[in-house]
Chain A
């Protein structure tokens, strides 16, 4: 790799670390919620970096390339969830004003058992999701510096742990702001330049409609079926709608995203911050389908139908990495669509070369992927640390523990969870990747109903919520097992959308059991009223 590549990546990482060092924290309010001083705009940017993972950055466009119209379930799911979050959850949790999502569930439902279920679910979801990010860092480091996957993970883990240990939420926040700027610039640059080359205007998001039409024409010419834009070619409509719902509800209820909304100065800022968060996220999510369309078009135009010994230069280069494979199955020397085997990641990673840009841009894109992985891993690690130090230790084991001790324990939890995460990522366990795909279903079946009912239905009580949580999780896990390993399917719904069943079950069980048992205490009813108003109404 060129010396300039090293300079770019090291330079960016040093900036991240310097920002973290400048924002050290020792107080609990600073460690968990950045002192509740983060303005709406900057919190929105940090949420965007927290949210957009290595997979969003590197693999999502590739998934769209493969899935066509059906892939848009992910685009709408992962953005539409913010509407639920902004209207139904975030402002109320901000008014509630503690540190974590399990905090809210435990106090609202007056139950430490509910806290335990919530914190274990939060740890499982966040930990597996984090392992995915760390693996992403290992792969990117390997591609950038030619180091092994394990060494890449070790370097990444040191950066992630350091950023989070130094100042918790406070250091993470400002690092995430810088990481967002790097990742969004790196994402937009190659595809915008390609748009200028093709159309003379750097707005790929609004110009790929014409490309979609060209794709359909070329696909007809090369007998590719079903067409790229044909709806429900990869999965049926019910699976599309269910998956979209699970992604939306899961997004609204994922603890690492919600926790960021505890950091704004007021309820008003929490509402506005959700708008900025989705604005910054939408920039990438509106661009990803353009990446996918451009790549699909280039493949159909420059690769398919051409002699196998006349691959374009960029394709030859990526063939060496194994991410781009052509096998001449019928031996006619001409490449057919079915003979192409393309790794998802190539759609984003190869675009700089397709556009004929200098190698430096390619390194910068990888640095963007690195920023996406690091920023998400930071946020997840903090959720795990908060669940262990705040929820498990300070609230359940030793309620009189001094604040300093709790924060110190949080920092130790960051280091320990980080190291374990690194080791597990290095094992390349395929099952971990699977659990990440189920994280949204688990959140939809557990946190989402508990939060919505907790905010909007005063009558929801401890017995109802706890039974609902457990039933929701059990049904979801059961359906995952039955669909994935036993081939059982209801209405064609796949295991990726299993949370829809757990969600319905949780909702029904919570309502029925709450109705059958006595209403929550006067204190809780007042709390539920109080969180409706930005101003303090009741003393609770």
Chain B
């Protein structure tokens, strides 16, 4: 198989991973960093900092993995490297 094409697939994969990990870090680590200022805001009945850490982050993690799986399925097909 064409070496350049394989390299391009890897570069795209790493880009997807980087974007998803930035989101991952923002909802978890970012949410903790600004927990104090967020704690005075109320959201859906929750103190916002508690909601971000207990729910938003966990739900984001689940969605991110399914998004990654689906993006990679498309990428596999685009480059013809699927099993």
Contacts and interface: CB of A to CB of B under 8 A. Distances in A.
Interface in B23-64: 24, 28-29, 32-33, 35-36, 39, 42-47, 49-51, 53-55, 57-59, 61-62, 64
B70 to A, nearest CB: 9
A282 to B, nearest CB: 5
A388 interface: no
Given A75-B54, A212-B46, A83 B35 contact: no
A87 B68 contact: yes
Interface in B1-17: 1, 6, 9-10, 13-14, 17
B29 A241 contact: yes
Nearest to A230: B39
A291 interface: no
B61 A537 contact: no
Interface size class of B (residues with CB under 8 A): 35 or more
B57 A212 contact: no
A76 B28 contact: yes
Contacts of B32: 73, 231, 237, 240-241, 244
Contacts of B45: 207, 209-210, 212-213
A289 interface: yes
A69 B50 contact: yes
A272 B66 CA distance: 6
Contacts of A151: none
B24 A83 contact: yes
A86 interface: yes
A272 B71 CA distance: 11
Contacts of A83: 20-21, 24, 61, 64-65
B62 A534 contact: no
Contacts of A231: 32, 35-36, 39, 49
B69 A532 contact: no
Given A230-B39, A271-B68, A534 B76 contact: yes
Contact of A229 (B10, B47, B76): B47
Given A275-B62, A275-B69, A244 B83 contact: no
Interface string A46-84: 000000000000000000000001001101100110110
A274 interface: yes
Interface residue SS majority, chain A? helix
Contact of B28 (A80, A87, A271, A278): A80
A212 to B, nearest CB: 6
B82 A75 contact: no
A230 B83 CA distance: 50
A206 B24 contact: no
Interface string B71-83: 0110010001111
Given A229-B47, A282-B58, A289-B54, A534 B83 contact: yes
Interface in A201-240: 205-210, 212-213, 229-232, 237, 240
A266 interface: yes
A49 to B, nearest CB: 17
Contacts of A529: 6
A537 B68 contact: no
B17 A535 contact: no
Contacts of B14: 456
Contacts of A343: none
A268 interface: yes
Nearest to A290: B54
B51 to A, nearest CB: 7
A231 B21 CA distance: 24
A426 interface: no
B47 A271 contact: no
Contact of A275 (B10, B36, B66): B66
Contacts of A451: none
A279 interface: yes
Given A82-B65, A275-B66, A268 B39 contact: no
A364 interface: no
A285 interface: yes
Contacts of B36: 231-232
Contacts of B9: 532-533
A331 to B, nearest CB: 36
Given A82-B65, A535-B83, A286 B58 contact: yes
5 contacts: A82-B65, A244-B29, A272-B69, A278-B62, A282-B62
Given A87-B21, A212-B50, 13 more contacts: A75-B58, A79-B61, A209-B51, A213-B47, A232-B35, A237-B32, A241-B33, A268-B76, A268-B82, A286-B58, A286-B59, A289-B54, A532-B6
Interface of B: 1, 6, 9-10, 13-14, 17, 20-21, 24, 28-29, 32-33, 35-36, 39, 42-47, 49-51, 53-55, 57-59, 61-62, 64-66, 68-69, 72-73, 76, 80-83
- Top 8 A-B pairs, shortest CB-CB distance: A209-B45, A209-B46, A275-B65, A231-B35, A271-B69, A275-B66, A72-B53, A533-B81
